Amino acid sequence: MSRQATRLDAKKVNSELLTLTYGSLVSQMLRDFENIDDVNKQLERIGYNMGMRLIEDFLSRTSSPRCLEMRDTADKVQQAFRMYLNVQPTISNWSAAGDEYSLIFDNNPLTEFVELPPDMTNLRYCGILCGCIRGALEMVQLEVQCWFVQDQLKGDNNTEIRIKFIRRLEDAIPAGED
Amino acid sequence: MVIYGVYIISKSGGLIFNHDHNVPRIENEKTFSYPIDLVLDYEPKKVSVAFGQKGGINVGHVLTSINGILVTGNVLEDGRDVKEVIENRDNYPLNLKFSRPKMTTNEKIFLASMFYPLFAIASQLSPEPKSSGIEILEADTFKLHCFQTLTGVKFIIIAEPAQIGMDQLLRKIYELYADYVLKNPFYSLEMPIRCELFDTNLQLLLDQVEKTGLANI
């Protein structure tokens, strides 16, 4: 069984396995949908559904308290990336209002062996990450927007994900929590 | 170390999981002669003792069988009416078996949805702002421990009043939930939990806690 043996240290899987599995998912989707926009949309949706479940795993392992500030949230998102992908994105480019920031990745395990063919420049290969962040934060009653600003696959220096706070989902906050 | 049961209530207040752990089953069988010296309450759903407590048969216990024939509701398995059998002198001596009533699933769902507003009211009644809801509810025979996650799922343990360390156990159950329920691709969120792996691992955890305490988990 997965957890019992590796209870104390986080589960260890070779990241190449993840990279290849993810790659085969994306390439299968490109085969299934003619349209690259549809693939982008589906990847985002898969990520969203994963995030909604993954957040419980994150909370149960870290027992983190509720974040009441965007900077706390940024720290937690960073911590989650360390836990699940073993990468440490840098947090930077805060907006003046403190409601928008970027996660910058020097390397991204999902794109390890990947080169984008020239006709697929509008494919958001790692769109699943954005969906995941959005889904997870929504379960803790934070609505955010999440998109790619830079992508190493498209020739940029870094991969940059921008996260923008939209609002707190007040009516979804559980009783005794607000 | 006795844990009576574990319940999980979804964000919207529905009971999505319940597990009766270690509820001692109390049954008493006794032979009666005419007239029966217990006052029985005949209801369509159950026949229970209304008055006259004796020999382990307490007020509130329900009749489960007559002469070894099972009673369901207020009829015997062979179709006869319980009241008629008990009031007929020719049938005596009668061997009646009583037991403590068990909660049906419907009753549990009902109680779970009642706990939900109580929890919310508690947080609003608080004299201090930003209070949590009910975390512990104590009675003379049990203590209810409740843990609400940031996402709004409630985990509840009913245990002996003297039991300690239940908040750690609740966190462990949360971990099991995150592992075996949410990572199960065939489980849809907010639906009743029917995951065998979760059941077995929860059972293992509870047994371990009862046997060796919380130190080893």
Domain ranges of chain B: 3-23+104-212, 27-99
What's the pLDDT score for residue A4? 46
Work out how many CB contacts closer than 8 A connect A with B: 64
Count of H-run helices and E-run strands, chain A? 5, 4
Total number of domains constituting chain A: 1
| Interface contact A176-B11, CB threshold 8 A | no
A175 and B177: CB-CB below 8 Å? no
Which of A53, A55, A176 lies at the smallest CB-CB distance from B148?
Answer: A176
pLDDT at residue A8, as a whole number:
46
Confidence band of B75 (pLDDT split at 50, 70, 90): confident
* R_g over Cα of chain B: 21
Q: Is the ipTM of this complex over 0.90?
A: no
In a domain, A51, yes or no: yes
| Residues contacting A173, CB < 8 A, separation 6+ | A141, B152
Among the partner-chain residues B119, B174, B182, the one whose CB lies closest to the CB of A176 is B119
In a domain, A10, yes or no: no
CA angle at B130 for the pair B128 and B136, rounded to the nearest 5°: 85
Residue A8 lies in a domain: no
The pLDDT of residue A37 is above 60? yes
| pLDDT over threshold 50, residue B46 | yes
Residue A47 has pLDDT above 50, yes or no: yes
| Beta-bridge partners for B47 | B42
For A140, which residue in chain B has the nearest alpha carbon?
B151
Long-range contact set of residues A12-18: C-beta below 8 Å, sequence gap at least 24: A15/A85, A15/A86, A15/A109, A15/A112, A16/A112, A18/A85, A18/A109, A18/A110
- The H or E element spanning position B83 is helix B82-87
pLDDT beyond 70 at B203:
yes
Q: Which residues in chain A are contacts of B132 at CB distance < 8 A?
A: 176-177
Cβ of A176 within 8 Å of Cβ of B151? The answer is: no
Put simply, the answer to whether B183 touches A53 (Cβ < 8 Å) is yes
* pLDDT confidence of residue B216: 64
Of residues B86 and A136, which shows the higher confidence score? A136
Is A55 within 8 Å of chain B by CB? Answer: yes
Instruction: State whether A52 and B189 contact (CB < 8 Å).
Output: yes
What are the tens digits of pLDDT across the range A56-71? 999 999 988 888 889 9
On the question of pLDDT at A173 being above 80, the answer is no
Task: Work out the angle at residue B185's Cα, subtended by the Cα atoms of residues B180 and B189, and round it to the nearest 5 degrees.
Answer: 80
The pair of structure tokens assigned to B119 is 């929890």
CATH label of the domain that carries residue A133: 3.30.1380.20
**Residue A39 belongs to some domain of the structure:** yes
Mark which residues 130-169 of B lie under 8 Å from A by CB.
130-133, 148-153
pLDDT tens, position by position, A84-110: 998 999 999 999 999 999 999 988 888
Express each pLDDT in A106-165 by its tens digit: 888 888 888 888 888 889 999 999 999 999 999 999 999 999 999 999 888 889 999 999
Tokens of A142: 């934070």
B188 touches chain A (CB under 8 A): no
Q: Does B182 touch chain A (CB under 8 A)?
A: yes
Residue A151: CB atoms within 10 A of its CB come to 21
Q: Which of A41-45, A147-151, B13-17, B184-188 has the lowest mean pLDDT?
A: B184-188
Chain A positions in Cβ-Cβ contact with residue B11 (cut-off 8 Å): 174
| Token pair of A55 as six digits | 């957040």
**Token pair belonging to B135:** 């975390």
Q: Looking at residues B71-93, what average pLDDT do you find?
A: 86
Which pLDDT belongs to residue A6? 44
Model confidence, pTM: 0.85
CA dihedral angle for residue B126, residue B131, residue B132, residue B137, rounded to 10 degrees: -30
Q: What is the pLDDT of residues B93-146, one digit of tens each?
A: 888 888 888 888 899 999 999 999 999 888 888 888 878 889 999 999 899 999
In Å, how far is A69's CA from the nearest CA of chain B? 15
Instruction: Spell out the CATH class of B3-23+104-212.
Output: alpha beta
Domains B3-23+104-212 and B27-99 share a fold: no
Contact A105, A159 (CB under 8 A): yes
Mean pLDDT across chain A, nearest whole number?
A: 88
Report d(CA B59, CA B130) in Å as an integer. Answer: 43
CB atoms A175 and B153 under 8 Å:
no
Q: Which domain holds residue A102?
A: 15-115+122-168
Given CATH 2.30.42.40, say whether it is the number of domain B27-99.
yes
Q: Which of B94, B86, B88, B90 is closest to B32 using CA atoms?
A: B94
Asked if A57 lies within 8 A of B171 by C-beta distance, the reply is: no
Average pLDDT, chain B: 88
Contact A57 B122 (CB under 8 A): no
Contact A65, A56 (CB under 8 A): no
A91 has a chain B CB within 8 A of its CB: no
Q: What percent of chain A is modeled with pLDDT above 90?
A: 61
